[in-house]
Amino acid sequence: MNEQHSNATPFGPLPTWSDQLDPSVWTLADDPESEPDVAFGSKSPEGDSADGLTDHHALRLDDHFEWLSRRLPNLLGLAASADFDHGEIHRFESLPMANGDDPWGKIDSRLDTHEFDREVIAWLGELAGLPRGDQWGYVTSGGSEGNFRGLLLARQRFPESTVFYSDRTHRSVRHALECLRMQGLPIKSHADGRINLDHLYGTLGARSEYAPIIVANIGTTVHGAIDDLPGILRTLRELEVDQWYVHADAALAGMVLPMVDSPQPWNFEAGVDSLSIAVHKLIGTPQPCGVVLARRSGIEPGKGSTLLGSRSALAPLWIWRSMKALGREGFQRRIAKCFETADYAIDQLNELGLRAWRHRNSLTVVFDRPCDEIARRWHLPVDEKVAHLMAMPHVTRSQIDRLLQDLLMEG
Ligand SMILES: Cc1ncc(COP(=O)(O)O)c(C=O)c1O
């Protein structure tokens, strides 16, 4: 989408919406041409650590850690929290743990955290409106896997169906469709990122599709836009479709909407059939993680396994610890602070004469695209006309102020 800007800055390629989290965009080495060091380590005469790592290699790790830490204060486009300390969980890193492919299963030869996996699913399932006793799901490697598994559930129910998704949908959905060999049709979106229901109506109507599968965005990557779920269901009814499947991609908003006073319709109570949440974004974890959720009664016997084999056994612990440590009030306070930061950023940007806004209940502040140099310095994903910053829990007013100073200098 944004190729024309990709090499336009002296700092290297700009991140773009579509590849915002693609590691290839964030050039790691100063010299991208440098040869990777693939040689085995060899013991040096002195200075080895107990297990044989040479000082030279230890230094490489130190350097990289420092490089990452230096970037953090300027990462205003990062859709993940950095203010976490899962203290009691550190010790588990010394154990060779893995969760198996069914949180309800037990493989005696393994060290697992299935009981926490199940409690996380019960907790988030309840927040997402899944009745107790009818909950299915597991802790995933992140939002993408949840989308993948949700679409696989959809295909298991309706193997021949086409998947309709807005053109603002995260690329993991298109990727999943390709892997699953499902047919997909993009639907136009409005300028604010929400799906265009007229186009959905026209497209569905022209095809008289049996049991369409719809992906609803509960917070798009770029605008934080929440698709009108009641409107999608109304469209299906108006077209007299009598069977359908709705998968909701609630990557970030899935942890926000259950905690706010007046959430947009987003969950099982509002009519979705499966749901993916990238839990790591709001709570902050050392590695990405998420959940996929569905009604147990909707899954045919034998078709409810996880996508991957061995899964992270740490992820359920991080999520579980956050749930217990923060409680509902803690999450509410955390999110209220994010909204305050977002509104502060919007006010300040407006005062500078820039257009800036956010959707209701969204942590994504969308504003007029700054020059490439500023976008690069603050790691702001950019579209043709706009950029966004993420008002995540660790983001402070002073960071926003520093960005504003740069924008002021830009003039
Ligand atoms: C809307 C949306 N869906 C899915 C994803 C993928 O989540 P993850 O990176 O955890 O796989 C993202 C990531 O930014 C996203 O913004």
- 3-state SS, 359-411, equals CCCCCEEEEECCCHHHHHHCCCCECCCEEEEECCCCCCHHHHHHHHHHHHHHC
* Ligand 1 close to Cβ of residue 251 (< 6 A): yes
| Edge-first strand listing for the sheet containing 364-368 | 356-357, 364-368, 386-390
- Which residue range is the domain that position 215 belongs to? 87-326
pLDDT at 45: 55
Q: CATH number of the domain that 237 lies in?
A: 3.40.640.10
pLDDT at 32: 54
The answer to whether 294 and 136 are in contact (CB under 8 A) is: yes
Token pair of 346 as six digits: 């919007």
Q: Residue 72 domain-assigned? A: no
The CA distance from 280 to 286, in Å, is 8
The answer to whether 224 and 258 are in contact (CB under 8 A) is: no
Q: Residue 92 domain-assigned? A: yes
Q: What residue type is assigned to position 108 of the chain?
A: D
In the chain, how many domains are there? 1
pLDDT at 39: 73
Q: Residue 8 domain-assigned? A: no
Residue 34 designated active-site:
no
Length of the chain equals: 411
The answer to whether 172 and 148 are in contact (CB under 8 A) is: yes
* Ligand 1 close to Cβ of residue 177 (< 6 A): no
Token pair of 8 as six digits: 């336009």
**What are the residues facing 276 on neighbouring strands?**
249, 292
pLDDT at 22: 33
* Ligand 1 close to Cβ of residue 218 (< 6 A): no
Q: What residue type is assigned to position 233 of the chain?
A: L
pLDDT at 27: 28
pLDDT at 218: 98
Token pair of 152 as six digits: 């696989």
Tell me, in angstroms, the distance from the centre of ligand 1 to residue 21's CA: 8
pLDDT at 40: 72
Name which residue sits closest to atom 15 of ligand 1, judged by CA: 221
pLDDT at 33: 59
As a dihedral over the C-alpha atoms of residue 259, residue 176, residue 204, residue 271, rounded to 10 degrees, the angle is -30
Name which residue sits closest to atom 7 of ligand 1, judged by CA: 143
| Residues in contact with 197: Cβ distance below 8 Å, sequence separation at least 6, in sequence order | 228, 231, 232, 235
Q: What residue type is assigned to position 330 of the chain?
A: G
CB atoms within 10 A of CB 30: 8
Q: What residue type is assigned to position 208 of the chain?
A: S
Q: Residue 402 domain-assigned? A: no
Shortest-distance atom of ligand 1 to CA 169: 1
Q: Residue 319 domain-assigned? A: yes
* Ligand 1 close to Cβ of residue 250 (< 6 A): no
Q: Residue 156 domain-assigned? A: yes
Token pair of 238 as six digits: 């108006």
Tell me, in angstroms, the distance from the centre of ligand 1 to residue 220's CA: 9
* Ligand 1 close to Cβ of residue 146 (< 6 A): no
Candidate of 25, 249, 383, 392 to mutate for ligand 1, largest count of ligand atoms within 8 Å of Cβ: 249
* Ligand 1 close to Cβ of residue 225 (< 6 A): no
* Ligand 1 close to Cβ of residue 168 (< 6 A): no
Candidate of 21, 149, 279 to mutate for ligand 1, largest count of ligand atoms within 8 Å of Cβ: 21
Tell me, in angstroms, the distance from the centre of ligand 1 to residue 145's CA: 9
The CA distance from 357 to 347, in Å, is 9
Count of alpha carbons within 13 angstroms of residue 326, beta-carbon side: 23
pLDDT at 304: 86
The answer to whether 382 and 16 are in contact (CB under 8 A) is: yes
Taking only the tens of pLDDT, the chain with its 411 residues reads 333 333 333 334 444 444 333 332 232 234 555 677 777 776 655 556 767 788 888 999 999 999 999 999 999 999 999 999 999 999 999 999 999 878 887 777 789 999 999 999 999 999 999 999 999 999 999 999 999 999 999 999 999 999 999 999 999 999 999 999 999 999 999 999 999 999 999 999 999 889 999 999 999 999 999 999 999 999 999 999 999 999 999 999 999 999 999 999 999 999 999 999 999 999 999 999 999 999 999 998 888 889 999 999 999 999 999 999 999 999 999 999 999 999 999 999 999 999 999 999 999 999 999 999 999 999 999 988 899 999 999 999 999 999 999 999 987
pLDDT at 208: 80
| DSSP element (H, E) containing 197 | helix 197-207
